[in-house]
């Protein structure tokens, strides 16, 4: 199984025919391999061959704001995972950002919400994971991001590369002024202002 910023590549083995069929998809996030395999199992039960399934998987495109990757005219790479952030999905998005090897790796996030009593703990844990991957971090929301800030600090992240802003507009202004040609930016969650 291989993951790159261009997508996923893996082989599926059919025990009955002993065939190995290569699959590729323009999707990122290793969790998508599981999704594809489960859907493939159903498709096989419905009578499709692995070759037919692989051909259809090759046409898959990411849903908007769900680990959608695009390159800007400026040369910056955007990893748009703004639709939602949950603990598993956030870690998957950070693994995708880690694939970027040239330039800065920037995370812009307000953190995660609606996690009940685990919210602060999960955000603090997320902060430590972000600090391990990112070269620059922009947190959106002063109070909302306190647990993230604790996790980032506990990981020993250089505070001069951490910005905490109060609105997405302020994050957008930072982005426009600071992001360069070879930088990759992960937008991790996009909370409405009611949470900030």
Domain with residue 185: its CATH number is 3.90.190.20
Q: Are residues 91 and 153 in the same domain?
A: yes
Supply the pLDDT for residue 17. Answer: 83
In a domain, residue 63? The reply is no
Q: Are residues 83 and 128 in the same domain?
A: yes
Supply the pLDDT for residue 16. Answer: 80
Supply the pLDDT for residue 196. Answer: 38
Q: Are residues 185 and 129 in the same domain?
A: yes
Residue range(s) defining the domain that contains residue 39: 2-57
In a domain, residue 62? The reply is no
Q: Are residues 44 and 20 in the same domain?
A: yes
Q: Are residues 95 and 131 in the same domain?
A: yes
3-state secondary structure of 80: strand
Tally of structural domains, the chain: 2
Q: Are residues 86 and 23 in the same domain?
A: no
Supply the pLDDT for residue 191. Answer: 60
Per-10-residue mean pLDDT, the chain, length 196? 96 89 96 96 95 98 92 95 88 97 96 94 98 98 96 99 95 94 94 47
Q: Are residues 107 and 179 in the same domain?
A: yes
Token pair for residue 106?
Answer: 């920037």
pTM to 2 decimal places: 0.90
69 within 8 A of 35, measured Cβ to Cβ:
no
The alpha carbon dihedral of 167, 84, 33, 63 has a sign of negative
Supply the pLDDT for residue 14. Answer: 86
74 within 8 A of 181, measured Cβ to Cβ:
yes
């Amino acid at each position: 199984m291989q993951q790159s910023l261009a997508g996923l590549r893996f082989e599926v083995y059919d025990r009955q025919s002993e065939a190995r069929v290569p699959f590729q998809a323009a999707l990122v996030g290793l969790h998508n391999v599981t999704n594809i395999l489960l859907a493939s199992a159903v498709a096989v039960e419905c009578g499709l061959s692995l070759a037919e399934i692989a051909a259809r998987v090759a046409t898959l495109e990411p849903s908007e704001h769900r680990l959608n990757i695009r390159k800007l005219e400026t040369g910056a790479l955007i990893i748009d995972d703004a639709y939602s952030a949950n603990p598993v999905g956030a870690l998957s998005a950070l693994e995708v950002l880690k694939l970027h090897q040239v330039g800065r790796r920037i995370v812009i996030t307000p953190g995660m919400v609606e996690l009940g009593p685990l919210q602060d703990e999960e955000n603090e844990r997320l902060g430590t994971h972000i600090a391990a991957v990112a070269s620059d971090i922009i947190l959106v929301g002063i109070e909302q991001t306190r647990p993230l800030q604790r996790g980032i600090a506990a990981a020993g992240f250089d505070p001069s590369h951490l910005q905490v802003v109060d609105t997405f507009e302020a994050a957008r202004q930072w982005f426009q002024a600071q992001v360069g040609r070879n930088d990759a930016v992960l937008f991790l969650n996009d909370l409405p202002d009611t949470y900030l």
